[in-house]
Structure 1
Amino acid sequence: MQIAPLISYARAYYFQYTVILLCSIFFIYSEFKLVPRWKTIKFRLDDPRIGKKFKNDELVSDVECVLMAVLIGLIIASWYCLMKSHRQSIRKLAGPWLNNRPDWLSKEHHLFHVSIICLALILSINGTLTNSFKLIIGNTRPDFLDRCQPDLTQIQEGDPSAYYTAQICTQKDTRLLYDGLKSTPSGHSSFIMSGLGFIYFWQCKFILGNPLRNIWCLFLIAIVMISRIVDHKHHWYDVISGGFLGVSIVIACWRWMFIQKRIPSSILPAPVSI
């Protein structure tokens, strides 16, 4: 196949590619370089909400969560769209998202391309917004005091309700300390909701069969979200806000890629005949 048709086909999605690239760069940069406003965030040493024990062994690690969000959707889309033996399981394809499909490309391959773009948009935008909210809000995790290891010589005697900043912390691992100020929203919740929420909708929309058989996606989402509370990494409202953020991004990107609005041919009113 010649390169020119591929370039022409890809050009129709250059804006989406750009958004994915920029959001991915920001997500990686903010994850490893940016820190919350740790000098101004105040907390109390007698606050039971942040006095949980730090758990080093997580039920679902950061890497495992991201891999589930990315690979499960990628594998399922590849299974149905790229393997001829399973294409009969795909519903009859129709919709405005097919408008950019060239004649030389099958509907199934076009569906795979659009689906992967949509998934990449969801995950990259979710990463950008999740980290932005974490840095702006700067909320303390349930295990923050155990991470902090406060300097007892700086504690005001006789005033357990006094407020302190992270400057009294003796924790030498600054990455561990700063991560303790990134509680809201839950990144695990937003990512697992983004990745598995998308593939849940995708299977219900494009794959034949009873939609109830896709409910395993929702169970896996719930398990990951609950694990963050069990591991003392997030408050209940962190998990809910992360899940809400994830599903909101799924809906927005789904509408962008699969339910495109028709653009009127002219913004001027039609001429009135007399």
Structure 2
Amino acid sequence: MPRNGLSTASIPRPDQSGVPGAVIRFYQRSFPAVDYLALGCIVGGWVLIQLFATPFHRLFSLDNKAIQYPFAVVERVSVVWSVVYAGIIPFLTLLLWAVMFRPNRYKVQVTILGFLVALMLTTLLTDIIKNAVGRPRPDLISRCIPKKGTPENKLITWTVCTQTSQHILQEGWRSFPSGHSSFSFSGLGYLSFFLSGQMRVFRPRTDLCRCLVALVPFLCALLIAISRLDDYRHDVYDVTCGSILGTVIAYFSYRRYYPSLRSVGCDMPHDGITSPEGFYKLPGDEEQQIQRPAVPSRQWGAEDEVYQLSETSSPPRRL
């Protein structure tokens, strides 16, 4: 029996008969293949938004100083470079790690999968919120180029704009949250969480160099987010919310495959071994300490107490 007093017999088993049982067995045996299917759905949803979604156009006034900033033709960090900094470079870093340290195939698979899920899920949610909120950018009036004679002290609609480029015009109502900020903190944030786990930065008396290396991706993401303020594409509110969104999703995606950074086995993913009761996690995971049946556990120098009962043992003698 496991040391915590729980046995596999005490865990309720799902019904393994019929169609529900077949579905459960397929899910258990195909993990993480099901996650690839979900990732494909996320990518498909993002493509549909790019093709068909238009933002909600909030009313605005020409005397609103918050949207009178100039339109920056050349951005400090363009969309292409944000993909390079927060997508391609972290991806190549993970591949380099795999080549250098040669982990097992499952670890490489879930690490790359978690990274892709973090990026695409953040991008999808960001675009959904952008189009639903329709918040004007700080450079909206410069984008709009309103008609002459448009009143300055009353609310007006987007139909007064004379901008010929629909892309530039429609992007003027996609300010909240910052896409650069959320994307950079999801990709680089995931890389930072991964490096923290592999180097065990929360282990007692860990050297400062490891901590600094793990914080470098977060610093790069912060600089990308700040560049959006310098270009007057977003305000502090947009950048802050986008950064929080990207960080939360990055941590969510990382924790789906890896234990807590304070766990003993934080550098190893949940092993993904299935049983009739579901998935086992690493013994060091803080959520559950249920050990595998018939596998002894020795942690923190603890001694296992073994008691054997014999069917032929003699009764105690009376004195």
Q: Deviations over 1:30-60 (max 9, x none)?
A: 234311123xx10110111100000110000
Q: Which 10-residue stretch deviates more, 133-142 or 208-217?
A: 208-217
Match of residue 129 from structure 1? 125
- The answer to whether the 8 A contact 1:23-1:127 is kept is no
Q: How does 1:86-235 map to 2 (within 5 A)?
A: 87=101, 107-153=103-149, 155-156=150-151, 160-207=152-199, 210-235=210-235
Secondary structure, counterpart of 1:210 in structure 2: helix
Q: What is the TM-score when the length of structure 2 is the normalising length?
A: 0.68
Match for 2:198: what amino acid? F
Distance (Å, rounded) in 1 between the aligned partners of 2:106 and 2:176: 37
Match for 2:218: what amino acid? L
Secondary structure, counterpart of 2:104 in structure 1: helix
Distance (Å, rounded) in 1 between the aligned partners of 2:68 and 2:276: 58
Match of residue 304 from structure 2? none
Q: What is the TM-score when the length of structure 1 is the normalising length?
A: 0.78
- The answer to whether the 8 A contact 2:122-2:182 is kept is yes
Q: How does 1:6-155 map to 2 (within 5 A)?
A: 11-38=30-57, 41-83=58-100, 87=101, 107-153=103-149, 155=150
Secondary structure, counterpart of 1:59 in structure 2: coil
Distance (Å, rounded) in 1 between the aligned partners of 2:235 and 2:167: 20
What displacement does 1:109 show? 3.0
What displacement does 1:65 show? 0.5
Q: Deviations over 1:179-233 (max 9, x none)?
A: 1100000000000000000001101111376222232212211110110010011
Indicate how the Cα distance of structure 1 residues 182 and 263 shifts in structure 2: closer, same or farther if over 3 A, else same: farther
Q: Deviations over 1:145-197 (max 9, x none)?
A: 000001123x23xxx43101101111111111001100000000000000000
- The answer to whether the 8 A contact 1:24-1:127 is kept is no
Q: State how many pairs are aligned.
A: 232
Distance (Å, rounded) in 2 between the aligned partners of 1:61 and 1:32: 21
Match for 1:167: what amino acid? T
What displacement does 1:20 show? 1.1
- The answer to whether the 8 A contact 1:126-1:245 is kept is yes
Indicate how the Cα distance of structure 1 residues 232 and 204 shifts in structure 2: closer, same or farther if over 3 A, else same: same
Q: Deviations over 1:90-111 (max 9, x none)?
A: xxxxxxxxxxxxxxxx743322
Higher helix share: 1
- Indicate the percent of aligned positions where both proteins have the same amino acid: 27
Distance (Å, rounded) in 2 between the aligned partners of 1:243 and 1:108: 32
In the alignment, structure 2 segments of 5+ residues that lack a partner are: 1-26, 201-208, 260-269, 279-319
The structure whose Rg is larger is 2
When the two chains are superposed, the root-mean-square deviation of aligned CA atoms in Å is 2.5
Distance (Å, rounded) in 2 between the aligned partners of 1:10 and 1:175: 45
Distance (Å, rounded) in 2 between the aligned partners of 1:237 and 1:134: 13
Match of residue 244 from structure 2? 244
Q: Deviations over 1:224-270 (max 9, x none)?
A: 0110010011111100000010011012112222246999949xxxx
In the alignment, structure 1 segments of 5+ residues that lack a partner are: 1-7, 88-105, 267-274
Distance (Å, rounded) in 2 between the aligned partners of 1:250 and 1:55: 30
Distance (Å, rounded) in 2 between the aligned partners of 1:215 and 1:34: 36
- The answer to whether the 8 A contact 1:82-1:108 is kept is no
Indicate how the Cα distance of structure 1 residues 11 and 265 shifts in structure 2: closer, same or farther if over 3 A, else same: closer
Indicate how the Cα distance of structure 1 residues 205 and 64 shifts in structure 2: closer, same or farther if over 3 A, else same: same
Distance (Å, rounded) in 1 between the aligned partners of 2:236 and 2:258: 33
Distance (Å, rounded) in 2 between the aligned partners of 1:197 and 1:152: 46
- The answer to whether the 8 A contact 1:142-1:234 is kept is yes
